[in-house]
Structure 1
Amino acid sequence: MAFDYDLFVIGGGSGGVRAARVAAQGGAHVALAEESRYGGTCVIRGCVPKKLMVFASEFVDIVEDARAFGWDISPGSFDWPTFRGKLHAELDRLEGVYRKLLAGSGVETFDMRVRVADAHTIELSDGTRKSARHILLAMGGWPVKPGIAGEELAITSNEVFHLDHLPKRMLVVGGGYIACEFACILNGLGVEVTQYYRGAQVLRGFDDEARGLVAEEMQQKGVELHLGTNVLEMKRDEASGSVWVKSTNGDEREFDQVMFATGRAPNTRDMGLQDVGVELGRNGEVVVDAYSQSSVPSIHAIGDVTDRVNLTPVAIREGMAFVETVFNGNPTPVDHDLIPTAIFTQPEMGTIGLSEEEAREQEPVEVYCTSFKPMQQAFAGRSDRVLMKLIVSRESRKVLGCHIVAPGAGEMIQLAGIAVKMGATKEDFDRTVAVHPTMAEEIVTMKAPVRTG
């Protein structure tokens, strides 16, 4: 049977675009459909605009530190419309780059929604049908709200980049990395931020000691954090225009804006997937094997739509492995082991490997940890603390986990991640000469464990 394409990719995010480009560069006839903007969550409504907002929010501390170091400068006010205009211009530029990369690779693109009609057929929203030997699902994920009364009054992380003006008082609901990052960002931009999280501590799943320090520092910087607290209902106060919120702790308060960061779901609704036999999981995710193949052999899936490890670099790696497996005849399973990651709270948190709690359940370990005031902030008179932590196997001496809470932790964990991925031992770290004076030198100078178990 002759097909219109060798590969049809659904989704123009980082994973889908990379897979389409690489397959096309290898000689495959490739098409890609995207119903929204090219670049996906990361470029348009996630990592990139968020990181630019992180940069913007950190200048308050920089100005205060500069004064402490002798600079005769005064803090000004933040101009949200000016920043937002530059932000959107940058996102437009990046979307243009993605489009040019696809066109330059010979990928045919369709700016419309599509559905899967059968194992080898795509139906475009204009009714046109296209056939493909292989279909790659890369539709990503989307924020979901918790299903409470008045939730339509709240925004999600998608809309926060498009606010006409910054609110004076804002409630952030959630305790994951998205909620914590935006609580810190908005607080740094001058918004009075309150954060509700139903759990006992934010950043569930990360190392307890590290996330505890992040929570403490967030509160020190002005975020009003309420743990064990959730929203019961919300209403619009017609007189003031604010949002009235009733919470499980008995509080009834008004906010100018409420943002839910309470989870994301894979974009699989109304795609026709189950009709053609593609198995979906409880959260709507496409169930795939180690080679990203779904229950239908001609249909693969990568990225957040599979709900495995929802990170942009992981989606790109999955896309590359898919091309190697399907088009290059080199079966390549996806490696999800020891992935370094960063949470851009203030302070940042960088992590790779097992938390102390996970490691203790697995085997006997030694814990090396230090917390201190870094030189720059201490000199400026701030009380900020940082954390450096290694989890080490008592038997193999391998570093099982590395956790850093500090300014620039994302940059540090990228490099520490290489050593951990290579299987470095504590003695390998010890043999590395410290770079002085730096915060990161503590990673190689901790000699005695603070805990064993």
Structure 2
Amino acid sequence: MSEFDFDLFVIGGGSGGVRAARIAASHGAKVGLAEEYRYGGTCVIRGCVPKKLFVYASKFSEEFEDAEGFGWAVGERSFSWRQLIAAKDKEISRLEGIYRNNLEKTGVECFDSRAEFEDAHTLRLTATGQTITAKHILIATGGSANLDQKIPGIEHAITSNEAFHLEELPETVMVVGGGYIAVEFAGIFNGLGAETHLMYRKDVILNGFDMDLRHAVHEEVAKKGVDILTEDVPAAIAKRPDGRLEVTSQRGKTYVVDQLMYAIGRRPNTEGLGLEKAGVAMKKNGAVVVDTASRTNVEHIFAVGDVTDRVALTPVAIREGHAVADTLFGNNAWIVDHSLIATAVFSQPELGTVGLTQEQALNVTPNLDIYRAKFRPMKHTLTGRDEKMLMKIIVNADNDKVLGVHLMGPDSGELAQTLGICLQMGATKVDFDRTVAVHPTAAEELVTMRSPSEKLRG
């Protein structure tokens, strides 16, 4: 009989933790998992899934307008925020039930409680006071939204967490931030009919993405009616007698809005976890320090997902959790390659990207061929909508290898998934060129761009 209660105990019932628990249990390990809120984590409960449902809802305002260009007469229409919230809640509950059922089917013992370290092998369940021991422990507690606590009146602001549960759609909203969450929610609120301001400290939104893509989406988001306020941040927030918020910016501007939403990044969720009792090393921002195998400085303790502050994407957390389980219990040691990850931003218009930005590619080689196409999607030749699509391919001129592909336009996220496979296999520009186009599609531009828009030579 083992000296421990569990072979593996997972702290956190999000995507990474659930995957690790299920795979470990399928390999025959005795597995326990503790979750203090709801199963599914940020992605399912208050992130990717409800957000994309909101994006779908917000796009109908334009779809109704565009239909007229194709001969449709769309009659009187109205929108119910409460109906959307109810439908979203129903779907999230369904998904959470699937997560719970899948854990139970594989024999994982679940505890609806917060778990905190007592020592390197012992955890205490705060809901009951029960202590549990485990041979291996996996930290998968994710991250939480940041608020700038230095700003007077910050208690009046919300984050994306609360945005999913507002009782009413605000008539006027300000979103603070310029990353993917901020830009996505700006598009959601704007599409649903709210007067939307997006305030960002830098000069162009979506820092970290390819600069051509950043400029293009910045322009398109503004054309759709979002008031983008750059190089500024709130300095003070005050609640007025009528319940609205008065936001004073560092540049001395004043804005009156119904809701102020912060989306300025997320922090690893390790506060109060008792990691110091287990001797687990952390970074200054609270992230758990891990090696390439997701192992902490304590040999039997691992961490995956957003809590490690590596790549904060759900599919990455899932693969990291799977790798830990296979390595520990499946006689199959492997690590996750973080170097080439396709991703999407469900902004409006949508972005899809895989590989290196032009700025990053220049660190690989000064010799680049840049292929770039910007055009109106075929759909809008009849709608008359002034909206552009962008496709960009970055090629290493020394060996013809495609280093990055960046897209803006309808279904860019879907395209990025397939392109991720191509780049993972080491595709060259010749491979793209010899591929027969699918016509008429926007994607055919990827295989019909023959001459570089720009040749960079060091």
1:17 aligns with 18
Counterpart AA for 1:202: I
| Worse overlay, 410-419 or 384-393 | 410-419
1:400 aligns with 403
How many residues were matched structurally? 452
1:210 aligns with 213
1:297-336, Cα deviation, whole Å (9 max, x unpaired): 1100000000100000000000111012111232212211
Measure the CA separation in 2 of the matches of 1:432 and 1:347: 27
> 1:275: how far off?
2.5
Measure the CA separation in 2 of the matches of 1:334 and 1:121: 28
SS of equivalent to 2:444: helix
Measure the CA separation in 2 of the matches of 1:347 and 1:87: 22
Matches within 5 A, 1:417-428: 417-428=420-431
SS of equivalent to 1:323: helix
2:297 aligns with 295
1:107 aligns with 108
Matched, 1:227 2:230: yes
2:139 aligns with 137
Counterpart AA for 1:395: D
Measure the CA separation in 2 of the matches of 1:308 and 1:75: 48
Matched, 1:371 2:374: yes
Identity of aligned residues (%): 52
SS of equivalent to 1:325: helix
1:236 aligns with 239
Distance 1:385 1:90, change over 3 A: same
Q: Which one of 232, 247, 250 corresponds to residue 248 of structure 1?
A: 250
Structure 1 unaligned residues grouped into runs of 5+: none
Measure the CA separation in 1 of the matches of 2:270 and 2:20: 19
1:261 aligns with 263
2:391 aligns with 388
TM-score with structure 1 length normalisation? Answer: 0.99
1:179-237, Cα deviation, whole Å (9 max, x unpaired): 00000011000010001000121100100001111110000000000110100010100
1:52 aligns with 53
Matches within 5 A, 1:32-181: 32-74=33-75, 76-125=77-126, 126-147=128-149, 148-181=151-184
Measure the CA separation in 2 of the matches of 1:450 and 1:172: 35
Counterpart AA for 2:345: I
> 1:361: how far off?
2.8
Measure the CA separation in 2 of the matches of 1:306 and 1:289: 10
SS of equivalent to 2:77: coil
SS of equivalent to 2:400: coil
1:360 aligns with 362
Measure the CA separation in 2 of the matches of 1:54 and 1:75: 22
TM-score with structure 2 length normalisation? Answer: 0.98
SS of equivalent to 1:288: coil
Measure the CA separation in 1 of the matches of 2:140 and 2:69: 49
Does the 8 A contact of 1:63 with 1:74 survive in 2? no
Q: Which one of 407, 410, 413 corresponds to residue 410 of structure 1?
A: 413
Counterpart AA for 2:37: S
Measure the CA separation in 1 of the matches of 2:78 and 2:450: 46
Measure the CA separation in 2 of the matches of 1:425 and 1:307: 32
Counterpart AA for 2:69: A
Distance 1:75 1:452, change over 3 A: farther
> 1:422: how far off?
0.7
SS of equivalent to 1:334: coil
Does the 8 A contact of 1:60 with 1:75 survive in 2? no
1:337 aligns with 339
Measure the CA separation in 1 of the matches of 2:23 and 2:166: 37
Measure the CA separation in 2 of the matches of 1:2 and 1:153: 50
Runs of 4+, deviation exceeding 3 Å: none
Counterpart AA for 2:264: T
Measure the CA separation in 1 of the matches of 2:108 and 2:76: 49
2:450 aligns with 447
> 1:378: how far off?
2.3
> 1:75: how far off?
5.3
Matched, 1:26 2:27: yes
Does the 8 A contact of 2:8 with 2:32 survive in 1? yes
